[in-house]
Structure 1
Amino acid sequence: MGNLDKDILEKIDDWLSSSYDEETRASVQKLIDDQAETELIDSFYKDLEFGTGGLRGIMGVGSNRMNKYTIGKATQGLSNYLIKQFPNQEIKVAVSYDSRNNSQSFGQLVAQVFAANGIKVYLFNELRPTPMLSFAIRHFGCKSGVMLTASHNPKEYNGYKAYWNDGSQLTAPHDKNVIDEVNAIASVKDIRFEGNTQNIIPVGEEIDPIYIEANKALSIHPEAVQAQKDLKIVYSPIHGTGITIVPKMLASWGFENVTVVTEQATPDGNFPTVIYPNPEEEDAMALAKKKGEEIDADLVLATDPDADRVGIAVKNSQGQFQLLNGNQIGSLLIYYVLSAKSDLKQLGNNPYIVKTIVTSNLQADIANHYHVAHYETLTGFKYIGELMTKLGDSAQYLAGGEESYGYLVGDLVRDKDAPNSCAFLAEMTAYFKSKGKTVYEVLLDIYQEFGCYQEKLISLTKKGKAGAEEIQAMMAGLRQNLPTTLGGIEVKEIRDYELSQTTDMKTGRKSEITLPKSDVLQFITVDGDVISARPSGTEPKIKFYCSVKGTLHDKSDYLSLQNTLEEKVDRMMKDIVG
């Protein structure tokens, strides 16, 4: 146990004190008795950071783990901030949770702490999707909200997403101010765990039809749904919250032929059929895709545990089911919404879409074609939500999202919304089928009209203290040795969002980036290719994104052009990732 430094030992001693319950002390003592040195270091080398989006970490005892004390501390800090921000006002918050192990008990704990601070809590009776928490905040007139979820992380994780009164996750200045309040709590004795249960109001199924009907009102082509009501749809909630809403949503819109993947239908925090319950992963989509093949489906859908992300599979030109990536799904949604509303002259006043800085520029190309404004934000849907709130009624948000499979059509919530996206993806499929086209054929139409984009994401997982240091070193190394070429192509421009500056590589001229600071590097080549390097804010990963573009003269050339672009992407990625 010689590698435990003084600070770690002091924290361990504190967690063995009577300030913590007997079960917690026993768990810490067991780690000591088992001489689990690495586990002790990772559990206590730092405090689990209440970051700009809340908490996310492995469940267990210790200051760097998700447990009743780290969650209690976060909630006490948020309560303190709310009381300061809204003096002499009734403060209401909403609390919900997903299917992860301990999510329900953590949700009840959060409600108790809020209640103990004199705050009224709308606590969901049962698990519900994250976007419904965002919806509930606005519906009930809350000042804040908390969702207990680790989204698509492995089963060992849980998380705590904190929201503001607009239904968006915390952004400046509230995010930093709440962090300060959390860090100001010196002892677990300062956490009020015992609440007044009269301050806790249960939220039941009565909110479901309100949310569903509000979404249904956004439908653009309900007649296409009626004409294609037998559209064959396969849906998997991947053991998560989507099962509570997505089938109801699709039925409400008029789809009568939805097959749920039974092996993944029951909410289960152990995620028994997958390792990563993430629709970005082929393995997570495998059962849904297989069911799609069995019934010859028109559309295959799968949502992550808290149902804010959705992946899809469609039949390609060879009749085989193919997974689409997040950029393709988002681009199809934006194309459908903008083209359909343009045809119906329903684009509205000052319409706009939003994408993040690592999302395909194809979406900007589509927006330009329809004379719709497009905005870019940092990665994280909270920045899209923040922009929606900032623009308010002065402009009309139509659609937007992230390459990481999170989208939103319409402005009912301020977060990515998989039930909403599932309904629109189904409507889109029905509409184009009524026109004699498959989704895949429409994607090729888009590539032929706007340019054929090829994207790739490489995620490197680096766990624990050593992993965090390695990720920092990788970003520092990139900044110290900025590449002048990538895959043999000259780098024209470098954008460093941490330094808030763009550098022209030929002239050396620097210009300001007006977005908030973020640890992201982007390299733009003379061909217009974009490579981005970014440590994840929610996982122990560093991510590298690449996007290139070619010209598709004829749809029959797509596969050969795709291979050419893939080779280009691989050459560029090799130069930056190794």
Structure 2
Amino acid sequence: MNDILEKAKQWLTPIFDAETQTEIQELITNNPDDLADRFYKDMEFGTGGMRGTMGAGTNRINKYTLGRATQGLSNYLIENVDKEQLSVVIAYDCRHNSKKFAKVVADVLSANNIKVFLFEDLRPTPELSFAVRHLDCDAGIVLTASHNPPEYNGYKVYWADGGQIVPPNDSGIINKVNALEFSEINFDANEELIEMIGADVDKVFIENSVKNGSLSPNIDRKNLKIVFTSLHGTSIMSVPDALSEAGYTDVHIVEEQRKPDGDFPTVKSPNPEEPEALEMATNLANEIGADIVIGTDPDCDRLGVAVRDMDGSMKLMNGNQTMVVMTDFLLRKWKEEGKLNGKQFVGSTIVSTELVNDVAASFGVGTKVGLTGFKWIAKMVKDFPELNFIGGGEESFGYMVGDFVRDKDAVTATLLACEVAALAKQNGSSFYKELLDIYVRESFYKEHLISITKKGMDGAAEIQQMLSDMRNNPITEVDGEKIESLCDYQASTKKNLITGDVTEIDMPKSNVLIYQTASGTRIAARPSGTEPKIKFYFSVNAPLDAAENAEKVEAELDAKIQRIIKEMKLN
């Protein structure tokens, strides 16, 4: 505690403004537990960048932690990019302080003689990714905390290719940041180097979104009834315009959730993975008889899709189901147009459904599987320039169509989901029936996610202990099946638990464990890179002989997952 107190007292010096000093002094005097949480570590880059609760302290998002990150980025760019005039584009979402933080970041960059393109108002994260390459910038930054609670904000860095930073740039930037004292941050802006941008970039972004997300020329888009909600986030700036540009005219916006608002007043969590977040949208869909519901998270990189099931009820697809249907649709389009020649691939991640791999293989297309996070899918595009990237996704409700955006993109993915639904309706089918047809063709895959929250210093230690126990005392059997293999991505090893044979995993190290049985039952565990949580992913599968039997097979698979969860004492 003495170390924490000494660290906190540094924030009482004139380097920090009066408001910050007052906040820290109040904590020192009255709230030592909160003080400890704010100073026991420095804010770190995870799978989604730097994200955390706002407030004073080294383990908080504030002017100084953002300034330090930006000064470190500036130093790295100056030393590693050989250009006469470096440039960075900045976007921000609807969260509290995002606009103010974006200007702080712009000030630091410009103070380091770096040209800044700053969006005039909130914009979707995928538009930031697009703008990096469109404006020929050396990096991009977006101020966002995605779907986290209102007290959070965050900071994601993109490289010149439009993807989030990956090795070696990520560690290079982090080393520069960690080497800095707060006194070394240059906040003295050069306003002449800060240029406001907006409508011109919007126009080109939406044009490209429509080009990539609307692929079939003979679809009656006017016949699809859509309900859309932005969940108080940035997608209101782009998705309605993109739908209109694509030719969808029967679009109904949830008005109570239209206005951007960092408090997200109508939802418990602005996360489209959760059915409650889309409740107002699905209620509206039932009132007006809509075919599809689309909801996006605050920075518009992930989307939730609800469609009519075989009984006509609205059913929220999970991220795995949506990515499988959209990938199958894209592959069929590429095949119909004679464009599949063995030089294409789709992208996925290690905790996403293996069904997408089977679907791609049925078209003779390979799937490249990376670590969790879309930065690894974007890296695939960069690493294999000789191949065409068709599309890719991950279980956490993200999808990327083509490579004009190098991150998950709810604008283009919304258009693609509507494309699937409109064409299916035109052909007497439905989005959900397309999914069942894939299950019949391949196998019925059922996935389930559990997130366990462990806050603070003690919580972080608990999460590490849980993973350590699973690593050092492996599970050997689940639901009567022997575990065949354990993939340990931290050790880069795949161990056959039956024979003892060990092979190497050729991927960057990551604190992820995946158990698998011979039948394909999978259990994955990993700490969240952006929240104080440990996540457990379950995947089971069984043959489906006919769509009419889907409900029965799904119930059996659900029961199997619940038995496994009970065995693991996670409920």
TM-score range, shorter chain: over 0.9
TM-fit CA distance, 1:324 = 0.7
1:228-243 equivalence runs, <5 A: 228-243=221-236
1:430 lines up with 2:422 in the alignment: yes
| Residue of structure 2 in register with 1:556 after alignment | 548
Is the CA contact 1:224–1:430 (under 8 Å) kept in the aligned structure 2? no
Query: Residues 247 and 92 (structure 1 numbering): CA distance in 2 closer, same or farther, change over 3 Å?
Result: same
SS of equivalent residue, structure 2 residue 147: coil
Match of 1:66 among 43, 61, 65: 61
Is the CA contact 2:214–2:415 (under 8 Å) kept in the aligned structure 1? no
TM-fit CA distance, 1:87 = 4.0
SS of equivalent residue, structure 1 residue 229: helix
Match of 2:171 among 176, 182, 188: 176
TM-fit CA distance, 1:7 = 1.1
Equivalents in 1 of 2:227, 2:340: separation in Å? 31
Range moving further from structure 2, 505-514 or 48-57: 48-57
| Residue of structure 2 in register with 1:499 after alignment | 491
SS of equivalent residue, structure 2 residue 223: coil
Match of 2:472 among 476, 480, 494: 480
1:42 lines up with 2:37 in the alignment: yes
Equivalents in 2 of 1:559, 1:245: separation in Å? 37
Equivalents in 1 of 2:46, 2:544: separation in Å? 43
Is the CA contact 1:349–1:396 (under 8 Å) kept in the aligned structure 2? no
TM-fit CA distance, 1:510 = 0.3
Query: Residues 213 and 348 (structure 1 numbering): CA distance in 2 closer, same or farther, change over 3 Å?
Result: farther
Query: Residues 535 and 113 (structure 1 numbering): CA distance in 2 closer, same or farther, change over 3 Å?
Result: same
Is the CA contact 1:279–1:304 (under 8 Å) kept in the aligned structure 2? yes
Equivalents in 1 of 2:53, 2:381: separation in Å? 32
Report how many residues are paired: 570
SS of equivalent residue, structure 1 residue 223: coil
Is the CA contact 2:47–2:530 (under 8 Å) kept in the aligned structure 1? no
| Residue of structure 2 in register with 1:385 after alignment | 378
| Residue of structure 2 in register with 1:22 after alignment | 18
TM-fit CA distance, 1:522 = 0.4
Match of 1:369 among 362, 367, 384: 362
Range moving further from structure 2, 509-518 or 85-94: 85-94
| 2:421 alignment partner AA | T
1:316 lines up with 2:312 in the alignment: no
State the Cα deviation string for residues 150-179 of structure 1 (Å, max 9, x = none).
Answer: 101111100000111101111000000100
Aligned Cα RMSD in Å? 1.2
Match of 1:249 among 224, 242, 263: 242
Is the CA contact 1:348–1:396 (under 8 Å) kept in the aligned structure 2? no
The two structures have a TM-score, normalised by structure 2, of: 0.98
TM-fit CA distance, 1:349 = 5.8
1:137 lines up with 2:132 in the alignment: yes
Is the CA contact 2:528–2:534 (under 8 Å) kept in the aligned structure 1? yes
Query: Residues 526 and 185 (structure 1 numbering): CA distance in 2 closer, same or farther, change over 3 Å?
Result: same
List runs of 5+ in structure 1 lacking aligned partners.
none
State the Cα deviation string for residues 264-320 of structure 1 (Å, max 9, x = none).
Answer: 100000110112110001111111111111111111000000000000111111111
Is the CA contact 2:234–2:260 (under 8 Å) kept in the aligned structure 1? yes
Is the CA contact 1:222–1:253 (under 8 Å) kept in the aligned structure 2? no
TM-fit CA distance, 1:464 = 1.1
Q: Which segments of structure 1 move beyond 4 Å, counting only runs of 4 or more?
A: none
| Residue of structure 1 in register with 2:412 after alignment | 420
| 2:203 alignment partner AA | P
Is the CA contact 2:521–2:539 (under 8 Å) kept in the aligned structure 1? yes
SS of equivalent residue, structure 2 residue 28: helix
Is the CA contact 1:224–1:434 (under 8 Å) kept in the aligned structure 2? no
Equivalents in 2 of 1:345, 1:574: separation in Å? 49
TM-fit CA distance, 1:53 = 4.2
Equivalents in 1 of 2:198, 2:445: separation in Å? 44
| Residue of structure 1 in register with 2:204 after alignment | 210
Is the CA contact 1:53–1:170 (under 8 Å) kept in the aligned structure 2? no
State the Cα deviation string for residues 510-555 of structure 1 (Å, max 9, x = none).
Answer: 0000011000000011211111001111111100001111011122
TM-fit CA distance, 1:51 = 4.0
1:523 lines up with 2:523 in the alignment: no
1:431-470 equivalence runs, <5 A: 431-470=423-462
Is the CA contact 2:53–2:151 (under 8 Å) kept in the aligned structure 1? yes
| Residue of structure 2 in register with 1:290 after alignment | 283
SS of equivalent residue, structure 2 residue 35: helix
| Residue of structure 2 in register with 1:159 after alignment | 154
List runs of 5+ in structure 2 lacking aligned partners.
none
Query: Residues 220 and 9 (structure 1 numbering): CA distance in 2 closer, same or farther, change over 3 Å?
Result: closer
Query: Residues 88 and 527 (structure 1 numbering): CA distance in 2 closer, same or farther, change over 3 Å?
Result: closer
Match of 1:190 among 184, 188, 191: 184
| Residue of structure 1 in register with 2:526 after alignment | 534
TM-fit CA distance, 1:507 = 1.1
| Residue of structure 1 in register with 2:262 after alignment | 269
